[in-house]
A and B are shown apart, each in its own frame.
Chain A
Amino acid sequence: MNTILMLAVAVIGVPLLLVAYIRLSEPLAGKDPRRAALIRPWLWLLPTFVLVSAFLVYPVIATLVASFKDAESAGWVGLANYAAVFSSPDNLAALRNNVLWLVFFTLGTLVFGLLIAVLSDRVRYESVVKALVFIPMAISFVAAGIIWKFMFEFRPAGEVQVGTVNAVLTAVVPAFKPVAWLVNTNTNNPALIAVGIWMWTGFAMVILSAAIKAIPTDVVEAARIDGATELQIFGRVTLPLVGPTLGFVATTMMINVLKVFDIVYVMTNGNLGTDVIANRMYKEMFNYHDTGMASAIATFLLLCIAPVMIVNIRRYRRGGS
């Protein structure tokens, strides 16, 4: 009953509220029509500014302040939390893993996305392939983590393998010993990164596919007439023209990967060398109740992502995408 009520209020009440606000703020714009035309946009933007300040600006400032305070946010500790971010062995391991994710996840999604976009470009069953590759984007990170956790299940050699990966490999590869993918320190990070790539390749592929289709056909035709092979067309025509889009997709993937949390949390909870910095922040805040440390990590993450975002926004403003 309660939820239906809340839905009704949201669906009817919110638009009503907006209309009411717009009507009621008219008198504030004044009688002079030219002045009113100047003031009105700011009046209409006011609720947005209030909401953004309350939910985005204020928390950022509060987090920044909390990062200089201790665990209960009672006393100041200066830069001690930041020192711990860079010196605690747990954090250093997490940072190293984030770099691994940054490099291999971005490369993986770009390479596979581009490959599939190019290869499926003029094939008849293109839409089927693209749909299949894009489907993982529709599920949440948590669901993907749970699915792959089952897929990576391990049973000792000689037992019935219940994990898909081990089952397939033992059936197909002769004398293959089942691997505990999420536990073996050689395979657990690559396994997690593979799950991430599986999820996001669809996104890269869709955008790159659109970029490839935007390449004017006469350029490609001209190259063909000049005797270029498909590989040369790819290297000298497609790639340069798709360049800006590649840059955009790369930066978007980088922003995404710095925030990776769900996959690691669900599949290994950061055990055995798979921890990432967002997971550390969660643990510090919710398991150890150390607000200062968690805020320091959050601010550090923000500083890492900010340059990438600025690059993205500048490129978007310049109109290349």
Chain B
Amino acid sequence: MSEVALLQIIGMCVIGVGIVILLFIKGMFLRVIGFVAMVLGAFSLIALSVPQMASLPPAVETFDLASVKSPDDLASIGQKIFFSKGQCALCHSIGPSESARCPDLNGIGAKLAPEFIYESLTQPQAYIYLDFRHDGVPKEYPARMPHIDKDPIGLSKQEIYSVIAFLQKMSGEPISVKVEDIMGPAQEQEKAASLKVAALSSIPSFEKTEKPSSVDR
């Protein structure tokens, strides 16, 4: 017997007891208890009649290195991450959208260097790209760009690279992220070091902002 069926039987029994009390018991306090039991039993039965969905914790998504043979594979994985684990599409649109709370990412892969995109994802408050300054009526629900490599999203470096590959491909750019870049920890560290983008300050469209305070975890 399933859990729902068992609970339904219990709910019906509770209602039945309530009905019996109301029909045959004269004591007013007990009648009130019977009435409350009927109400609660009915509530449970109604709740059991709607779709029963439990919220299960998500499986930990892993980056399947073996499946990546070409930059296009990387972009394909990046697209999945963009619309799922990365939660990018919750705020960003690809193309104009009035309801989007954050900048339109159409063509972003062509506009920005991958190194800068990487830093925007991992240190979002380090520099603000002035082209994304919002004009007009201020948005009531401004979303603050989260650190994408930290909880609750927590993308790995490889996953971030794949998202960058997707953004480049979507913008019609050749994918500059190489498959080798994501292959191993040693390369990963090297790549991360090379992405420190020391030369970013030379780009005129960047504005330095205050460093964010650290998150205490």
Physical interaction between A and B: no
B interface residue numbers (CB < 8 A to A):
none
Residues of chain A whose beta carbon lies under 8 Å from any beta carbon of chain B = none
